[in-house]
Amino acid sequence: MTQAASAVPTGYAARRTFAIISHPDAGKTTLTEKLLLAGGAINMAGAVKARGENRRARSDWMEIEQSRGISVTSSVMTFEREGITFNLLDTPGHSDFSEDTYRTLTAVDSAIMVVDAAKGIESQTRKLFEICRLRDIPIITFVNKVDREGRSPFEVLDEIEEALALTVSPQVWPVGMGTDFQGCYDFAHDEFIYSKARANGPCDSLKKVEGLDDPAFTSMIAPHVLERFAEEAELAREGYASFDADAYRQGHLTPVVFGSALRDFSVDQLLRIVARFAPPPRPQPSDKGPVEPTNDEVSAFVFKVQANMDPNHRDRVAFVRFCSGHFKRGMKLNHVRSGKPLAVNNPIYFFAQERALTEEAFAGDVIGIPNHGTLRVGDTLTEGAAFRFTGLPSFAPEVMRRVRLEDTMRMKQLRRALEDLAEEGLVQVFKPMFGSNWIVGVVGPLQLDVLASRIRGEYKTEIGFEPVPYSTARWISSPDERKLKDFIKDNGMSIALDRDERPVFLPKSDWELRYARERNPDISFDETRELV
Ligand code: GDP
């Protein structure tokens, strides 16, 4: 496909790899569609679906996604505009999927935070923001739904400033809100955007003006709205920090754009800020020090694996983020964990949900590599060097269940399913030392529904869940092999192996965990473990 070839013209400096973070319902999906539309990746908003001939039956897990109105999977969407290649990584919005989200945020260089104008900062926004802050990911704020009655813009700005300890710098301001809404004004460019078509219509027009008191602008606005807007605009410009690109990139300041994703107000303006100011690929941490995007040697890491993206082909796609070098299709990369070469002959780019082969990729790009289980989350690929990217943890599960197979003839399918889905990071699978049933662990209970539904849909196998007495899992290790062996022997009923055959301790309560810790000072009980 020609798009693939033209999508990568100017190297890593032209890449903007970002995610959208928000609380469910704030408008992330709508904004994603409008950004893709603005970038020409889709033809019609609402059509973030496969085009092409293979428009295929959606599997059960996608039905869950639809019926519950949540995104269960992260995916990547690449689009291009004015010489910039945007890689938008979708983070699942539901709080149950924090692990997946966390990993996705390791692969971005910046984020857009979508806030509902009426609701302000909500719990999930705050959590995701904290992850971004931990990783120094700079944030652009989009205050959505200004076409509806909301709080005053000042209230929203002050809440962002206080709740997140961020300096706010308003860039695009609403001209009236709710029933008074007439458009938005871009301070930096003196542009007024509005709907020519009809009062409540989508944004379709832009007027370049001389300033806030240009009659070309003021004559378009109802007097009572204009009076209020003039006051607000003055206060917005005088009372808040002016934009400072360095402060933004260091994560101290957030430019704020007011708009309406649904009616397409301020989407172009938002994209322009991403293009101009969002950082290109940043150095990535590794066990041998940060890897610079300017480094000539290709390097990349796997941040997500998705099985059965296409139910007709039992394939598995590893999502790989490049960190340096200039990758070309057919290259043999060093798969550092196994030490074996991996020929990447079918690297895939994702346009909305359409796939296309790509010939090359630069730092910041995300591609999919179809494989049969070789690639795992956390794996590093390089042109030769043997180092590992760090910072992709696996978290201790908070909900544990025993898997009950309804039809014992389907043991093989179940094993396969659990292996695949564990690889995706949807679930953690433990094999108890005693007893034959698998125990699964998840971070949030909704993941269990998704698990059962996918195993039914994709592996034609019915499962149920039974409670187990365990409250969580801890990876155990010790510099003293003998002590570890003794501990495992003494606690056999509470020991299981993870899918890499590493021992985990399954305590029944916090108290039991504390007790085990106190009694065994030479053993570490880890809540997370670095993948690979
Ligand atoms: P998500 O859960 O964050 O992905 O939110 P959605 O994009 O699905 O939007 C949630 C709801 O808000 C949907 O009913 C949207 O139509 C609506 N919505 C999104 N953006 C706007 C907007 O700018 N104005 C109004 N009035 N509604 C919006």
Look at 58-72, 160-174, 460-474 and tell me which has the smallest mean pLDDT: 58-72
27 lines ligand 1 (CB under 6 A): yes
Q: What is the pLDDT of residues 55-83, one digit of tens each?
A: 332 333 344 445 444 333 447 888 888 88
Calculate what percentage of the chain has a pLDDT beyond 90: 62
The topology (CATH level 3) of 284-382 is Rossmann fold (3.40.50)
412 torsion bin: left (phi>0), alpha (psi -120 to 50), beta (else) = alpha
29 lines ligand 1 (CB under 6 A): yes
Q: Can you tell me the distance from the alpha carbon of 99 to that of 102, in angstroms, rounded to the nearest whole number?
A: 5
What's the Cα-to-Cα distance from 460 to each of 170, 412, 452, 466, rounded to whole Å? Answer: 52, 12, 10, 20
pLDDT at 378 over 50: yes
User: Is 455:414 a contact under the CB 8 Å cutoff?
Assistant: yes
In this structure, the residue with its CA closest to atom 11 of ligand 1 is: 25
25 lines ligand 1 (CB under 6 A): yes
Look at 66-75, 77-86, 183-192, 392-401 and tell me which has the smallest mean pLDDT: 66-75
Is 92 annotated to bind a ligand? Reply is yes
Contacts 24+ apart (CB under 8 A), 331-335: 331/298, 331/383, 333/298, 333/300, 333/381, 333/382, 333/383, 334/381, 334/382, 334/383, 334/384, 334/385, 334/386, 335/374, 335/375, 335/379, 335/381
293 lines ligand 1 (CB under 6 A): no
148 lines ligand 1 (CB under 6 A): yes
Q: Which amino acid is at 211?
A: G
Question: What is the 20 CA–ligand 1 centroid distance (Å)?
Answer: 14
What's the pLDDT band for 531 if we cut at 50, 70, 90?
low
pLDDT of residue 3: 40
354 torsion bin: left (phi>0), alpha (psi -120 to 50), beta (else) = beta
* 349 backbone dihedrals φ, ψ, rounded to 5°: -100, 150
pLDDT at 90 over 90: no
What's the pLDDT band for 41 if we cut at 50, 70, 90?
low
Q: Can you tell me the distance from the alpha carbon of 110 to that of 112, in angstroms, rounded to the nearest whole number?
A: 7
302 lines ligand 1 (CB under 6 A): no
Is 25 annotated to bind a ligand? Reply is yes
> pTM value?
0.82
Domain ranges of the chain: 14-277, 284-382, 393-530
Contacts of 140 by beta carbon, 8 Å cutoff, 6+ apart: 110, 111, 112, 113, 248, 254, 255, 257, 270, 273, 274, 277, 278
| Structure-token pair, residue 64 | 């869950």
- CA neighbours closer than 13 Å in the CB half-sphere of residue 240: 29
Question: Which of 166 and 396 is assigned the larger pLDDT?
Answer: 166
Question: What is the end-to-end Cα distance of the chain in Å, rounded?
Answer: 35
What's the Cα-to-Cα distance from 316 to each of 310, 429, 445, rounded to whole Å? Answer: 9, 18, 25
93 lines ligand 1 (CB under 6 A): yes
Q: Can you tell me the distance from the alpha carbon of 450 to that of 213, in angstroms, rounded to the nearest whole number?
A: 55
Is 374 annotated to bind a ligand? Reply is no
pLDDT at 49 over 70: no
pLDDT at 97 over 70: no
Contacts of 327 by beta carbon, 8 Å cutoff, 6+ apart: 298, 300, 344, 347, 360, 361, 362, 365
pLDDT of residue 485: 96
Nearest to 193 by CA among 356, 201, 46: 201
| Structure-token pair, residue 452 | 């059962």
Calculate what percentage of the chain has a pLDDT beyond 70: 86
**Mean pLDDT score across all residues of the chain:** 86
Q: One fold for both 14-277 and 393-530?
A: no
Contacts of 102 by beta carbon, 8 Å cutoff, 6+ apart: 131, 393, 395
Q: Can you tell me the distance from the alpha carbon of 436 to that of 56, in angstroms, rounded to the nearest whole number?
A: 37
Question: Which of 72 and 434 is assigned the larger pLDDT?
Answer: 434
Is 24 annotated to bind a ligand? Reply is yes
How many CB atoms within 10 Å of residue 378?
24
The radius of gyration computed from the CA coordinates of the chain, to the nearest angstrom, equals 25
147 lines ligand 1 (CB under 6 A): yes
User: Is 364:293 a contact under the CB 8 Å cutoff?
Assistant: yes
pLDDT of residue 6: 43
pLDDT of residue 479: 95
Question: What is the 137 CA–ligand 1 centroid distance (Å)?
Answer: 25
pLDDT of residue 92: 66
pLDDT at 46 over 70: no
Q: What is the pLDDT of residues 111-141, one digit of tens each?
A: 999 999 999 999 888 888 988 988 889 999 9
Q: Can you tell me the distance from the alpha carbon of 431 to that of 280, in angstroms, rounded to the nearest whole number?
A: 43
Q: Can you tell me the distance from the alpha carbon of 344 to that of 333, in angstroms, rounded to the nearest whole number?
A: 7
In this structure, the residue with its CA closest to atom 16 of ligand 1 is: 262
32 lines ligand 1 (CB under 6 A): no
Is 153 annotated to bind a ligand? Reply is no
Question: Which of 7 and 205 is assigned the larger pLDDT?
Answer: 205
pLDDT of residue 74: 41
pLDDT of residue 527: 82
Look at 4-8, 182-186, 497-501 and tell me which has the smallest mean pLDDT: 4-8
User: Is 335:306 a contact under the CB 8 Å cutoff?
Assistant: no
What's the pLDDT band for 246 if we cut at 50, 70, 90?
very high
Look at 168-177, 222-231, 344-353, 411-420 and tell me which has the smallest mean pLDDT: 344-353
| Structure-token pair, residue 441 | 């662990």
Look at 167-176, 246-255, 355-364 and tell me which has the smallest mean pLDDT: 355-364
What's the pLDDT band for 398 if we cut at 50, 70, 90?
confident
Q: What is the pLDDT of residues 302-322, one digit of tens each?
A: 998 887 665 555 667 889 999
**What architecture (CATH level 2) is domain 14-277?**
3-Layer(aba) Sandwich (3.40)
491 lines ligand 1 (CB under 6 A): no
pLDDT of residue 60: 34
pLDDT at 181 over 90: yes
Is 293 annotated to bind a ligand? Reply is no
β strands within 269-411, DSSP E:
299-307, 316-324, 326-328, 332-335, 340-343, 348-351, 354-357, 360-362, 366-371, 380-382, 393-395, 399-405
The DSSP result for 303-331, as a single string, is: EEEEE-SBTTBB-EEEEEEEEESEEETT-
| Structure-token pair, residue 246 | 């360095």
User: Is 99:395 a contact under the CB 8 Å cutoff?
Assistant: yes
pLDDT of residue 422: 85
DSSP secondary structure code for residue 120 in this structure? B
Best residue among 25, 95, 122 to mutate for probing ligand 1's pocket (most ligand atoms within 8 Å of CB) is 25
Nearest to 425 by CA among 92, 99, 72: 99
Best residue among 67, 112, 262 to mutate for probing ligand 1's pocket (most ligand atoms within 8 Å of CB) is 262
Tokens 């599960």 belong to residue: 397
- CA neighbours closer than 13 Å in the CB half-sphere of residue 82: 9
Is it true that domain 393-530 has CATH number 3.30.70.3280?
A: yes
